[in-house]
Amino acid sequence: MKINEEIGEVLLSERSVLMLFWDKNDGWQVAGNGDLSIDAALLKNEGLEGLRAVVKDSDLGLFDAFLERVKENVEVGETVPSGTSSFFDAAFHLKTTDGSFRYHKIECHFKTDELGVVRKLLVRIPELEAEDVYRLHLAQVITNDKNPSFFNQEARAIMDSNPDKNFALIQFDVAKFKMINEQFGEEFGDELLDYFIHTLKLLCGKDQLYVRLTADVFMLLTPFETKDDISRFVEYINSNLLGYKGIPYRLVFGVCRIRDKSANLRKFGDGAALARQSIKNDVLTHLAFYSDEMKESAKMHKFIEDSMENALQNHEFVMYLQPKYSISREKVIGAEALVRWVHPERGIIPPMEFVPLFEENGFILKMDAYIWEEACKAIRDWIDRGVEPVPISVNVSRRHLKDRLFVDILNNLTHKYGIPKHLLEIEITETIEEAAVKEGILSLKESGYTLLMDDFGSGYSSLNMLKDTQFDVIKIDRIFLQDFISSERGRNIVEHTIRMTRAIGLDLVAEGVETKEQAMFLSSCGCDMAQGFYYAKPMTLADFNMKYSVG
């Protein structure tokens, strides 16, 4: 079989074209012309593996992915979807006779028989057109998300040439990309981002634009008619970018529709970024559309982060205490320390406004230590005034558990204020078992603290966790209690959970007790300690002292 007969004169007449031809019977053959620096002997009958002689190392990852696609599609007996004529198109460098590297692209076409079975394969590698090279350069330059001038200029030209179309900006990044670099190396991380760039070239049409903003953040411009059009395009992008070299990773997308084409595009780029960031930690979704509420939330987040250090220095974080009651003795036997932000102008800022953000940015370490010391001061004050103290439980976040220094902080505080460790109890939200977390819990236990598992019945709790637990007390989650106590079957589950927990030597506290009936039911099941609005809401230390004659 002669290559020229199958390829045709049109292809051979183009400059810088390499062609590989595969036939079921004859295997691979190669033909080249123009100014490509290629030794045909390296390629003939070695198939596409021979391209390694001319492909730069940085492009091998993309090339490996291409080889896998070829292998999947040229197996004897493989059928091709109706109407398909090309199933791969990717850009990379090839060395020319003058020693320079120029952009070329791989195009893979195939011929099938009447049954749709692949019989012949043509791999054509022409040099990129100037427009394609420009688009690639645009995508590969990190343009800076504060002023992506090149991208904005091209996006404006596309929108101006399509005045009747609606457009949207899409931002995406790789969730926890830093961990990918740490696990697989920065070289692989760079290779993955290059793979995204080259693949986006295949996925985006002439009225769609893509660019790499910063690190692993990409932005695209796309026309649309309906919101569903955007969702489908995002799913198309997502499905084609996932799974590189079999490495697991998750992409997170944010979308902002351009409402005013005359406005600065940065405004809508910021909107797409806000949408993307709003779901960074939500593993159940990978796409969010911008809304005005996100902008208000972002403003609040900025206010909180701008104000948090001064708030700590000015003692705006106030320890509130929620009493823990003995149901049978009808008296206070402990308290949980909670935090409220009392701002001089905005009043009380609810914990849900700032605690999750502090967990994310790490400020929780400072705030927790502040509340720990406030609890130690209160206990010391009760002892000094001859009042019988009750234990105060304080919260320890997962960030602390992964840093062994937090145990030293607690030990220094109990020593500084001269209080017995059993009066400073430690509450930890039940979590997936991690080695660092388990070590932190063990350190607390070895230091002599009483440990409470907070929110048992939500998240990742299970009977298996109780088998080898270091905890002393289980706190039954409010939602667990309310959901189960409403039916006979649910009450049986709660009752058996309580009795089993007591049987293995653990104490219990029921959270969120709101009615006398709930308290009596818990008592009948063997749970004597409760906290909730039926007994008291969280209150300031002064109110706690006054109400319970501690002061």
- Per residue in 99-109, pLDDT (tens digit) is 565 666 666 66
Residue type, 440: G
CB burial readout 248-283, b (16+ within 10 A) else e: ebebbbbbbbbeebeeebeebbbbbbbbbbbbeeee
**Which residues lie below 8 Å from residue 112, measured CB to CB, with a gap of 6+?**
79, 80, 118, 119
The answer to whether 280 touches 180, Cβ cutoff 8 Å, is no
Q: Write down the pLDDT at residue 22.
A: 59
Give the tokens for residue 246: 């079999």
Mean pLDDT for the stretch of residues 24-37: 53
Question: How do the domains of the chain map onto residue ranges?
Answer: 3-128, 131-290, 306-547
The answer to whether 449 touches 426, Cβ cutoff 8 Å, is yes
Q: Give the phi and the psi of residue 278 in degrees, each rounded to 5.
A: -65, -20
Give the tokens for residue 129: 């057109």
For residue 313, how many other CB atoms are within 10 A of its CB?
8
Q: Write down the pLDDT at residue 133.
A: 66
List the one residue out of 198, 251, 231 whose CA is nearest residue 60.
Answer: 198
pLDDT band at 489 (very low <50, low <70, confident <90, very high): confident
Q: Write down the pLDDT at residue 380.
A: 96
Range in 21-35, 68-82, 203-217 with the lowest mean pLDDT: 68-82
Q: Write down the pLDDT at residue 213.
A: 83
Angle (CA) 169-175-178 rounded to 5° is 120
Q: Write down the pLDDT at residue 341.
A: 95
Query: Which one has a higher pLDDT value, 3 or 385?
Result: 385
Q: What pLDDT, in 10s, does the model give residues 311-347?
A: 999 999 999 999 999 999 989 999 999 999 999 999 9
**Which residues lie below 8 Å from residue 209, measured CB to CB, with a gap of 6+?**
135, 138, 151, 154, 155, 158, 220, 221
Q: Write down the pLDDT at residue 35.
A: 42
Q: What is 306-547's CATH topology?
A: TIM Barrel (3.20.20)
Cα gap 146→270, rounded to integer Å? 9
Query: To the nearest whole number, what is the mean pLDDT of the chain?
Result: 78
Mean pLDDT for the stretch of residues 129-142: 61
CA distances from residue 522 to 41, 326, 531 in whole angstroms, order as listed: 83, 11, 12
pLDDT band at 494 (very low <50, low <70, confident <90, very high): confident
Q: What pLDDT, in 10s, does the model give residues 179-225?
A: 888 888 888 888 888 888 878 877 888 889 888 887 789 999 999 99
Q: Write down the pLDDT at residue 544.
A: 95
CATH class of the domain defined by 131-290 = alpha beta
Q: Write down the pLDDT at residue 74.
A: 45
DSSP type of residue 156: H
107: burial class by Cβ within 10 Å (0-12, 13-18, 19+)? middle
Cα gap 383→109, rounded to integer Å? 84
Range in 16-30, 111-125, 406-420, 508-522 with the lowest mean pLDDT: 16-30
Q: Write down the pLDDT at residue 315.
A: 95
Q: Write down the pLDDT at residue 294.
A: 83
Q: Write down the pLDDT at residue 80.
A: 38
Q: Give CATH superfamily name and number for 3-128.
A: PAS domain (3.30.450.20)
pLDDT band at 37 (very low <50, low <70, confident <90, very high): very low
Give the tokens for residue 362: 């790490």
